[in-house]
Amino acid sequence: MAHTVPPTPPGPVGSQYCVCKVELSVCGQNLLDRDVTSKSDPFCVLFMEVSGKWVELDRTETAVNNLNPAFAKKFIVDYHFEEVQKLKFALFDQDKSSMQLYEHDFLGEFSCTLGMIVSSKKITRTLLLGNGKPAGKGMITIAAQELSDNRVITLSMAGRKLDKKDLFGKSDPFLEFHKPGDDGKWMLVHRTEVIKYTLDPIWKAFTVPLVSLCDGDVEKLIKVVCYDYDSDGGHDFIGEFQTSVARMCEAQDALPLELECINPKKQKKKKNYKNSGIIIVKSCKITRDFSFLDYILGGCQLMFTVGIDFTASNGNPRDPSSLHYINPMGTNEYLSAIWAVGQIIQDYDSDKMFPALGFGAQLPPDWKVSHEFAINFNPTNPFCSGVEGIVQAYSACLPHIRFYGPTNFSPIINHVARFAAQATQQEAASQYFILLIITDGVISDMDETRHAVVQASKLPMSIIIVGVGNADFAAMEFLDGDSRVLRSNTGEEAVRDIVQFVPFRDFRNAPKETLAKAVLAELPQQVVQYFKHQNLPPINSEPA
d(CA 413, CA 449): 8
Pairing of strands 431-439, 20-29: unpaired
Q: For the chain, 544 residues long, give each residue's pLDDT as a single digit of tens.
A: 233 333 333 322 222 333 568 889 999 999 999 877 788 999 999 999 988 899 999 999 999 999 999 999 999 998 765 466 899 999 999 987 788 888 899 999 999 988 788 767 789 999 999 999 999 999 999 998 867 778 999 999 999 999 988 667 789 999 999 999 888 899 999 999 999 999 999 999 999 999 999 999 999 999 999 999 998 888 999 999 999 999 999 987 789 999 999 999 999 998 899 999 999 999 999 998 887 767 876 788 889 999 999 999 999 999 999 999 998 888 999 999 998 888 778 777 878 899 999 999 999 999 999 999 999 999 999 999 999 999 999 999 999 999 999 999 999 999 999 999 999 999 999 999 999 999 998 889 999 999 999 999 999 999 999 999 988 888 787 777 666 788 888 899 999 999 998 999 999 888 766 887 788 878 888 999 999 999 999 887 766 6
Which of 353, 434, 415, 416 lies closest to 387, judged by CA?
Answer: 353
Measured CA to CA in angstroms, residue 138 lies from 106, 121, 128, 185, 487 at distances of 12, 20, 8, 21, 52
Q: Residue 235 in contact with residue 188, Cβ under 8 Å? A: no
pTM: 0.65
Which of 493, 510, 470 lies closest to 314, judged by CA?
Answer: 470
End-to-end C-alpha distance for the chain, whole angstroms: 31
Degrees, nearest 5: CA angle 533-535-538: 110
User: Can you say how many angstroms the Cα of residue 439 is from the centroid of all Cα atoms in its chain?
Assistant: 28
DSSP class of residue 367 equals T
| DSSP string computed for 191-243 | E-----S-SS-BPPPEEEEHHHHHTT-TTSEEEEEEEE--TTS-PEEEEEEEE
Q: Domains plus CATH for the chain?
A: 20-147 (2.60.40.150), 151-288 (2.60.40.150), 293-534 (3.40.50.410)
Handedness of CA 309, 311, 316, 321 (dihedral sign): negative
E-assigned strand segments in 84-172: 86-93, 105-113, 122-128, 134-146, 151-160
Handedness of CA 343, 347, 351, 355 (dihedral sign): negative
Q: What proportions of the chain, in percent to the nearest 5, are helix, strand and coil? A: 25, 35, 40
Q: Residue 517 in contact with residue 3, Cβ under 8 Å? A: yes
SS3 334: helix
Beta bridge mates, 191:
176
d(CA 423, CA 431): 7
Instruction: Say whether the peptide bond before residue 6 is cis (omega within 30 degrees of 0).
Output: no
SS3 188: strand
Q: Where are the alpha helices (DSSP H) in 83-148?
A: 114-120
User: Can you say how many angstroms the Cα of residue 341 is from the centroid of all Cα atoms in its chain?
Assistant: 20
